[in-house]
Amino acid sequence: MTVTIYDVAREANVSMATVSRVVNNNPNVKPQTRKRVYEAIEKLGYRPNAVARGLASKKTTTVGVVIPDISNAIFAEVARGIEDIANMYHYNIILCNADKRKEKEIRVINTLLEKQVDGLLFMGGAVSEDHIRAFKTATVPIVLCATTDEREMYPSVDIDHKAAARDAVRELLKQGHRRIAMISGPLEDPTVGYARFQGYKTALEEAGLKVEEELVRIGNYRYESGQETARYFLELDRRPTAIFAANDEMAIGAIHAIQDAGLRVPEDISVIGLDNTRMASMVRPQLTTVAQPMYDIGAVAMRLLTKLMNKETVQNERVILQHELITRQSVAHLA
């Protein structure tokens, strides 16, 4: 039924060892026999069995990527970066979606490890004790990607979320705003949610302002929660003149809520986001935001992982990539 290396060997009148050498580009094969083997392969339609190869060589040339939420544009872009570099180094990647559920993340890490991946890339949010426990059972390198663990135990590639948020709020301050609201992500997540909130707080404090309770609300990073939160801000007795949303999607929700209430962005209220997803330029007004180099995060993380898999020594295991303010149309100087 299935044609094996052994069938090819017989067809070419060589031993299976020789076929193996040809398939693996081992130079120690006479060109003539190499040619014979190739012809046999062609004739029989032989396809190497990666499972058998993996068992024999203890390498699968595959890296596992756990992606928290496949329908999130950010992760999709990070994944592209991962992929390009993986292809470059001849690794296959297997992407596993975890649906934003921690329990599923752990499960997925384990199946990936069972499948004997040569390395693991973990993208996404909080790295909990349970995650660490799962990571610890691994005998292959692991790199965190677009996240970090607080204990700084694992190599990671990410931006400085606090600084990025601070720069967003600074821009608002620079435009004369003083009453600045924030649509935050969940604060339980230290590496993203809480860090971005800290950036907001820091920027305000640097400007001699302090965080007002009624100006901070927690969203879930989705459009609808941006809308709802903005509506809440609009109802305030003294409403904010500017809103900083912890990500672009909520920022866009906020813009629409403001417009739906008959107000204008940025004339009446300024809005700034964070991420710079493609959607940022697919709204009117186009969204001013702080860009996160998503593709690069993926690419650098994958490159780091290849080094680790290759047992090269790396100097810096925790890399921070630069963010950047992208000025578009949703922020105006306070009249």
Q: Which residues bind a copy of itself (CB under 8 A)?
A: 1-2, 45, 47-52, 54-55, 60, 62, 70-71, 73, 76-77, 79-80, 83, 92-97, 99, 110-111, 113-116, 137, 139, 223, 252-253, 256, 259-260, 278-279, 282-284
Identify which of residues 31 and 45 has a Cβ nearer to a copy of itself in the complex: 45
Query: Measured between alpha carbons, how far is 267 from 282 in angstroms, rounded to an integer?
Result: 19
Kindly give the pairing relationship between strand 242-245 and strand 180-184.
parallel
Q: Are 236 and 213 in contact (CB under 8 A)?
A: no
Residue 7: C-alpha distances to residues 13, 17, 56 (Å): 10, 12, 18
Residue 94 interacts with, from DNA, a copy of itself, none (CB under 5-8 Å by kind) = a copy of itself
- Name the segment binding DNA (CB under 7 A); options: 12-20, 90-98, 261-269, 304-312: 12-20
Show the tokens assigned to 279.
């959607």
Q: Is 307 in the site for DNA (CB under 7 A)?
A: no
Residues 162-191 that bind DNA (CB under 7 A): none
Contact 218, 186 (CB under 8 A): yes
- Given 39, 52, 101, 188, the residue binding DNA (CB under 7 A): 52
Sites for DNA among residues 127-166 (CB under 7 A): none
Near DNA by CB under 7 A: residue from 16, 106, 279, 334: 16
The option from a copy of itself, DNA, none interacting with 15 (CB < 5 to 8 A, set by class) reads DNA
Q: Residue 44: exposed, middle, or buried by beta-carbon count in 10 A (0-12, 13-18, 19+)? A: middle
Q: What does each C-alpha distance from 43 to 2, 5, 39, 47, 49 come to in angstroms?
A: 14, 13, 6, 11, 17
Nearer to a copy of itself, 13 or 57 (CB): 57
Between 17 and 52, name the residue whose CB sits nearer to a copy of itself. Answer: 52
Binding to DNA by residue 113, rule CB under 7 A? no
Q: What angle do CA 285, 288, 291 make, to 5 degrees?
A: 140
Distance CA 275, CA 328 (A): 14
Partner from DNA, a copy of itself, none binding residue 99, C-beta < 5-8 Å depending on class? a copy of itself
Within 10 angstroms of residue 26's Cβ, the number of other Cβ atoms is: 12
Binding site for DNA (CB under 7 A): 2, 4-6, 13-18, 20-21, 23-24, 27-30, 32-34, 46, 48-49, 52-53, 55-58
